Amino acid sequence: MPLFINRDQIFAHQVHLLEHKLRSKEERILELETENAILHLRLSESLGKLRRDHEEDTKCESHHQLQSNTEKITQSALVKLLSNVQAVKQDLSELFAVYASFASELEEQSKQLLEKVEQASCCLNGHHGDEFQNLQDRVAALERSLEEEKERCRSERQKRKELHNMLVELRGNIRVHCRVRPVLAFDHVQTSGSGPASSEEVISAISDDTVMVNCLKTGMPVQNKMFEFERVHGPDDSQNAVFEEVKSLLTSLLDGYNVCIMAYGQTGSGKTHTMMGSQLEQHSGIQQEAQQGIIPNAAAELFRLLSEKPGESHAVEVSVMEVYNNEVFDLLARDEHGNAVGQRRDVITTSSGTSQVTGLTYEPVCDASEVMQIISSVLKLRAHCPTLVHTDSSRSHLIVTLTISSKSPNALALARRLQSAKMDMQRSAQKEWWSPRCRRANPSARQPSYELFASPASSPCPSPSLSPCPSPRHSISQTEFRTKLQLVDLAGSECVGMSGISGAALWEVSCINRSLSALSDVLGSLAEQRPHVPYRNSKLTHLLQDTIGGDAKLLVMLCVSPTQRFITESLQSLGFGTRARQVQKTPRRKNHTLKVK
């Protein structure tokens, strides 16, 4: 009997299956539509981001073009202004020479007339009274004319000072020079592998203000990096050529500004040679002039400038310190037998805001030879340690300070002291002037007498008060003011793996690198004009506070090695110099418009 099949059930089952498939397809269609909407949304977001990036690129490009045009215009204007300043300085020097000859001629005529008056007084009688009176009138007129010429001469000298300081300020209160040393014997080290040779020269001075670095990498094209500074010295530049670009700052020193010249770079880059000169080539105890560094040349130039100011009295004192393992040592300190021994000193901040080393030894000097004799006698106390990079590597920062005390007979110094006293009184009116760190609170503490009226860090004119604490009343009877020239030979930054040191020397490297990092942080804070500058993060920056901050003049001499072996440290030094150039310090006091009646 055939099996009976219900066709309606079969059709119903098929319809159910088809409806299930239809629902599945509809769900799939809904998922695809959702994904499509999401993709469209992402596409619109990507297009919007691409459009914004394109607009930002366009803005950046236009801003860069505008900045480049502005820099070109500023540079051309600065070049024109510098040429005008040089022309004015030349005219002033010629005018000063004419005034000097005229003044000497007037003095000679005055002497002759005085002699005639003395001769006439011997045979004076009633008939010669009128002639004697005429002679006296002529002498008085000549003396008045002489005083007028002297006053005009002083005015012209002050204008020259103002133009010189304006020129230095246009160049920047912080100037950065770079010196590329020649290839030396320890640069030739065998390297393994197929990379570039370690003695290959990759850093060169391509112009007076540009350094080029060839960044060589195996299998990669050569990339050239350019660094611009105020002055760049190549391996062939002599010590005298380097100092010629530095010595203009000494004029600012005698004009009342603190000045600091420091050498920065890695171990073996030529810092000590640049600052001190060659200590090997000596004949009969006299160092060859061609090998003298910045320190002996600066001392000689300082005393030469002082000798050209016979109408003013100056006193010069020298101190020598080293910062070793973040501690300050006085290298001129003596024991009971009179031998020089390095004694640890503390750095404090006085109530007037200046940094001061307690108990620091100062030696009075009269010429450059005495300065170098004192420095040479204590250099053996400086910490040294041989490394794989340098056989006589300095492990401390050497700081030579020349302090100049000046007494000027003209009215300009008195007027500047009046202005400084007024500003100090305005500042002291906003805060309590007595400080628990005042020297009156600790009368047993010893310090040099001139430290009691040391100038603030931002002012070339010191507080005229003889009290160690700022007093509401300022004495202006004294016209003496003090400035200091700090010459710094920094210890070299280095990589521990390359130097091959171990043991206690690792702590020395750590302290050196941390102090240099603190110096970089201080310059970074000044560049960004932060309200707080971390001078006290290191003894080095705390010690140099007066010559780094305010309107002090700072010159950083970058010393770099030209070879591939030290390219990492050289790039770090060049980057440090680039950041230092970004500092734009605003002087707190302008003396260019100061008028004296």
Distance CA 279, CA 68 (A): 46
Q: Could you give the CA distance from residue 257 to residue 483 in angstroms, rounded to a whole number?
A: 6
**Terminal-residue alpha carbon distance, the chain:** 143
pLDDT at 318 (0 to 100): 96
Binding-site members for ATP are 265-272
Q: Is 483 helix (H, G, I), strand (E, B) or coil?
A: strand
**Within a 10 A sphere around the Cβ of 364, how many other Cβ atoms?**
11
CA 376/CA 369 separation, integer angstroms: 10
The rounded distance, in Å, linking the Cα atoms of 482 and 363 is 15
Whether this model's pTM surpasses 0.75: no
- Does the pLDDT at position 597 exceed 50? no
Contact 365, 405 (CB under 8 A): no
Calculate mean pLDDT across residues 467-481. 46
Closest CA relative to residue 287, chosen from 237, 250, 239: 239
List pLDDT tens digits, range 61-117: 999 999 999 999 999 999 999 899 989 988 888 888 888 888 888 888 888 888 888
Q: Parallel, antiparallel, or unpaired: how do β-strands 553-560 and 174-180 relate?
A: parallel
Residue 468 has pLDDT above 50, yes or no: no
The ranges assigned to domains in the chain are 17-146, 173-183+201-276+292-422+479-583
Asked whether 158 and 169 are in contact (CB, 8 A), the reply is no
State the SS3 of 136-148. HHHHHHHHHHHHH
Under DSSP, the state recorded for 391 is: T
Q: If you ran DSSP here, which 8-state letter would residue 292 be given?
A: B
How far are the Cα atoms of 37, 467, 591, 592 from residue 464, in angstroms, in the given order?
79, 9, 18, 21
Window from 130-134, 232-236, 412-416 with minimum mean pLDDT? 412-416
Q: Average of pLDDT values for 38-59?
A: 92
* Residue 44 confidence (pLDDT): 92
pLDDT of residue 279: 56
pLDDT in tens, 358-412: 999 999 999 999 999 999 988 888 877 767 666 667 788 999 999 998 875 444 4
Taking phi over 0 as left and psi of -120 to 50 as alpha, with beta for the rest, 554 belongs to beta
pLDDT score, position 198 = 67
Examine the pLDDT at 441 and tell me if it is beyond 60: no
409 vs 249, residue with greater confidence: 249
Which one, of 382, 381, 363, 384, lies nearest residue 372 by Cα?
363
CB atoms within 10 A of CB 117: 15
Domain 173-183+201-276+292-422+479-583 has CATH 3.40.630.10: no
CA angle in degrees (0–180, nearest 5) for 99-104-108 = 145
Q: Which residue do the tokens 């030094």 mark?
A: 573
How high is the pLDDT of residue 527? 80
- Percentage of the chain beyond pLDDT 90 is 33
In which band, very low, low, confident or very high, does the pLDDT at 150 lie, cut at 50, 70 and 90?
confident
Indicate whether 230 pLDDT > 50: yes
Binding site residue list = 265-272
Average pLDDT across the chain, whole number = 78
The better pLDDT of the pair 394, 224 is held by 224
Closest CA to 539 of 512, 521, 509, 515: 515
More confident residue, 339 or 434: 339
Confidence of residue 191 (pLDDT cuts 50, 70, 90): low
Residue 194 above 50 pLDDT?
no
